[in-house]
Amino acid sequence: MKIAVAGTGYVGLVTGVCLAEHKHEVTCVDVDEKKIEKMQQGISPIYEKGLPELMKKNMDRLTFTTDYKNAYADAEVIFIGVGTPEKVDGSANLKYVYTVAKQIAESVERDCVVVVKSTVPIGTNDKIENYIREHLIHPVEIDCVSNPEFLSQGTAVRDTLHAARIIIGAENEKAGEVLMKVYENFEAPKILTNRRSAEMIKYASNDFLALKISYVNEIANFCETVGADIEDVARGMGMDERIGNKFLKAGIGYGGSCFPKDTKALHWLGNYYDKEFKTIKAAIEVNDNQKLKLIKKARQYYSSLEGLTVAVLGLTFKPGTNDLREAPSIINVGILLDDGAIVKAYDPVAEIEFDKLYPGKIKYCESPEQALEEADLCMIFTEWEEIKNLAPQAFCNKMKKPVILDGRNCFQIKELEKLPLIYDSIGRRTVRNI
């Protein structure tokens, strides 16, 4: 089929490339000319495992352009995959979605199905369909379908090509059949429902996972108080098939482009309808507090951070991506700098983007070992393999004073308990040998 995709971020680009992999003719549209030029050369503008290879493989079926009018004019299906960032009040900002809707209304010259891939509040598809129909230039038929994405950064290609499920929210049979045809070669269960249910499935899924993370982090914090081990607790919980073992890894909270904004958006929407989501509110509060866990721990070991050299290992919100959105490292590094600490940081992919946040204030290192040299304190924010594979002895050999605060439980207690160091992690006993 002839498909256009609006937006070339994580959702739009991965969607477009994976549709091309399944033999569709795909035109990806973006307003950023520099991004388009890169992609025309087969260069991915985002760090995502497997994406560059898949782009190059399917370049004969991929077109990248800023010319939305030609892209939308004769497309059979148009996917909207632009961002829906949160507003100051926590609600979803839909300006980019409506911008694309206006462009579609002005450009389409044939009957087509508009697919909202972006995460949007319940009822948005209804509004977008009405908006496009009201602003159509040409006498064509437009149907809007909700088709939420469920990809994770770092595994986005795999999550799209081998999806756990494909949700199609349509109000008429014809539009639903078009999407079924788009996905006919995708080996995944397909659920056909109405648009509002599809929109709700996305929020309900993401917010449940966020709640699960916040819950295990609260349990981890209590484990520290009573002397239990969160890894044993989580293992025991996960063996119950009703609970499952995923999203039970304790740490310093969730970040990224989905969980933070989607929890806030649904909480805002609930309040708008006078239906407060108390569980979601609690998840947000727990996560906000958890992000500061390492700073609180640091102040147990040092009365002042001024003048201390701090090794920061990992900057992104998770390994496998260069995305810094809502990463715990951001607020913690800011506090360190405000308190007068000297920050040395290592991350395999995030240096350029992080330096935009704190230009010239951080020394970036080429390896974890280099970051540890002469450090008074080490804080681990991301469980990159390069960090997890550090020899524990390196903390003792490189650091001035080996005080390690591990926000991702990268190391086993047994590996460190015989070394002359302090190792303080999340929900586990602390090693205090200095």
User: Does one domain contain both 304 and 264?
Assistant: no
Q: How confident is the model at residue 257 (pLDDT cuts 50, 70, 90)?
A: confident
255 is in an annotated binding site: yes
H or E, element range at 431: strand 431-432
Report the alpha-carbon angle 353-217-84, nearest 5. Answer: 45
- Residue 247 assigned ligand-binding role: yes
Given a cut of 90, is residue 402 above it in pLDDT? yes
- The mean per-residue pLDDT over the stretch 259-265 comes to 95
Structure tokens at 268: 């805002």
Phi, psi of 392 (to 5 degrees): -50, -35
Owning domain of residue 228: 202-290
What is the tally of structural domains in the chain? 3
119 annotated ligand-binding residue: yes
Q: Is 123 left (phi over 0), alpha (psi -120 to 50) or beta?
A: left
- Alpha carbon 29 to its chain's center: 22
183 with 237, same domain?
no
What's the whole-number average pLDDT of the chain?
A: 97
For 358-387, the pLDDT digits (tens) are: 999 999 999 999 999 999 999 999 999 999
* Mean pLDDT of the region 406-411: 98
Mean pLDDT of 139-156: 95
pTM for this one?
Answer: 0.93
**How many other C-beta atoms lie within 10 A of the C-beta of residue 340?**
11
Shared domain check, 140 and 215: no
pLDDT in tens, 184-201: 999 999 999 999 999 999
Choosing from 154, 176, 193, the residue where a domain stops is 193
Is the separation of the CB atoms in 395 and 362 below 8 Å? no
Q: Would you place residue 167 in the very low, low, confident or very high pLDDT band (cuts 50, 70, 90)? A: very high
- Residues 330, 286: one domain? no
Tell me the per-residue pLDDT of 414-432, one tens digit each, with 9 for 90 and over: 999 999 999 999 999 999 9
Q: Which of 193, 220, 241 is the last residue of a domain?
A: 193
Give tens-digit pLDDT for 284-302.
Answer: 999 999 999 999 999 999 9
**Is 258 marked active-site?**
yes
Q: Using DSSP, state whether 5 is helix, strand or coil.
A: strand
Summarised one tens digit per residue, pLDDT across range 88-114 is 999 999 999 999 999 999 999 999 999
Residue 250's pLDDT is 98
Instruction: Examine the domain organization and report whether 253 and 179 are in the same domain.
Output: no
Determine the 3-state secondary structure of 116 from DSSP.
Answer: strand
3-state secondary structure of 96: helix
Confirm or deny that 314 is annotated as ligand binding. Answer: no
Q: Is 250 annotated as belonging to a binding site? A: yes
Catalytic residue from among 258, 365, 378, 410:
258
Residues 164 and 37 in one domain: yes
Same domain, 427 and 345: yes
pLDDT the model gives residue 63: 98
4 within 8 A of 74, measured Cβ to Cβ:
no
Q: Are residues 218 and 318 located together in one domain of the fold?
A: no
Following CA atoms 343, 349, 352, 353 in sequence, which dihedral angle do they give, to the nearest 10 degrees?
-90
CA distances (Å), origin 339, targets 27, 313, 333, 403, 406? 49, 19, 10, 18, 20
**pLDDT score at 248:** 97
| Structure-token match 């439980």, residue found | 409
Reference 26, options 52, 55, 48, 69; nearest CA is: 55
The pLDDT > 70 percentage for the chain reads 100
- Provide the pLDDT for residue 178: 98
281 and 302 inside one domain: no
CA distances from 21 to 105, 225, 295, 359 (A): 28, 51, 45, 39
Residue from 253, 262, 249 nearest 388 by CA: 249
Asked if 269 and 301 sit in the same domain, the reply is no
Distance, C-alpha 144 to centroid of its chain: 26
